[in-house]
Chains A and B, each alone.
Chain A
Amino acid sequence: MGDFKFPYFFDYPPYFTLQPVQDTREKQMQLWKELILRYCQHHKCFIINLEQEFPLFQNLSIQRKLSFEAREVFLAALVAEGKAEWLDKAHKKCLVLWRSIQEWSEMILQLVRDNAMEDGVLTLDEIQSGDESRGTELAGIDRFVLVRALKLLEQRGKAAMFKGKAGDDEGVKFSAS
């Protein structure tokens, strides 16, 4: 994973202030939305907590940071687009879906095929950080997202989740053939 490359606007102070003029605001939102998605994908970051500092929302070299309101506006825009979801009613925690749940489920199926596990069993832990997923985008996937993706596969009849014995991790049986 190389260094993350910040776009030109990140070093330009006014982009850290919510712009009042409609057209300018729209341009600003579009730039920030793209940046948030790209940054989260690069760093495998799934959750943004508005009540905590998030490194993307400030640029120390120009002494600027996004206000709470600005962050909320940009994340809300991502949610409206279906690229993010609020995890709480108070809109303080945001799940960033730089890949859709659908896309994640497809990737899991691909992993299953690549490892000839069409009738096999994997624990959720193994999918998150096992040998099979090493080097793929699935490595390091958030548990919550993983479960959602597996539920989607369950609906399609391609998988069935089960709880392990006491102390064991949850697992999933695939019938992906």
Chain B
Amino acid sequence: MKRRPGISGLHSAAAARDQYRSVGENVARIRTDLLKEQLATFRTQLEEFARKHKHDIKKNPAFRAQFHEMCSKVGVDPLASNKGFWAELLGIGDFYYEIGVQIVEICLATRSHNGGLIDLNELCSMLSKKRRTSRETITSDDCLKAIDKLKCDGLSFNDFADSSTIRPMTAYLQVLGSGFEVFTVGKKKLVRSVPTELNKDHNQILELAEVRGFVLVEDVERALSWHPGRVIDALETLMKEGLVMIDDGHPDRKRRYWFPCVSLSSSNAEEL
């Protein structure tokens, strides 16, 4: 549009701006409508996906793992909130919540035996035994996700804690959940459900213990080149924390220090 000088020029500039604005609004409106339509289609397809695959996701761990991978590629976290879109659609949140609760139960039940430290694989196998009636396979990956959820999601449990029985449980889980930590020692992943942290000396001894489930003082001295005093110190601390038990019954009369957290004894599950 040609610019014209003077007052009339100003008027037409204003008129032009108005016209531009209304065209702009129109375009925006059209774009929004398009988006709404796309979103509606997307949602319907998602619902169908969920209907078709909800069962598979729960029953098949390989499928479940692929589903998680797909979600993370798209930038979606299906576990982000129990009340979220995904959670409602797929009921995934409940699944992991349930596992989380059972993990807490198992850790509590075995705490007096292993001092609050448990091998991830052992935890997983106990969990599977606990859930054997539902015929769902639980992988150690599922355990890790459930523990993660326990740690950061405690607060969201309040969202559906409307019955008086659930509220104490969620408060309980919040307190316990915050204490959960998964760490690696040597070849094993251990789940810690107590606040005690292990220092470097402890971790090194733990790693040695993984081989046979126990250590002798001379083993540690030799393998780590430590003073016997340092070895005994570390072992006694671990004993006080309930992570180590002594064994003086071997025919060779040498004291063994056993670590229940690295001894695989899947028969434990039957005690729960």
Residues of A at under 8 Å CB distance from B? 7-9, 11-17, 19-21, 23-24, 27, 63-65
Contact = CB atoms under 8 A, between A and B. Distances in A.
Contacts of B41: none
Contact of A13 (B249, B267, B270): B249
Given A12-B265, A23-B112, A24-B242, A17 B249 contact: yes
Q: Is the interface of B mostly helix, strand, loop or mixed?
A: mixed
B242 A16 contact: no
Contacts of B256: 13-14
B267 A14 contact: no
B246 interface: yes
A19 B113 CA distance: 12
Nearest to A58: B249
Contact of B265 (A8, A21, A24): A8
B240 interface: yes
Interface in B230-272: 239-240, 242, 245-251, 256, 258, 260, 263, 265, 267-268, 270-271
Contacts of A21: 239-240, 242
12 contacts: A7-B271, A8-B270, A11-B267, A12-B258, A13-B214, A14-B258, A15-B245, A17-B247, A19-B245, A21-B239, A23-B112, A64-B250
B247 A14 contact: yes
Contacts of B246: 14, 17, 19-20
A25 to B, nearest CB: 10
A16 B250 CA distance: 10
A9 B110 CA distance: 12
Which of A14, A23, A64 has the most C-beta atoms of chain B within 10 angstroms of its own C-beta?
A: A14
A27 B115 CA distance: 11
A103 to B, nearest CB: 26
Contacts of A9: 113
A132 B188 CA distance: 59
A177 B271 CA distance: 44
A20 B255 CA distance: 13
Nearest to B271: A8
B268 A27 contact: no
Nearest to B267: A8
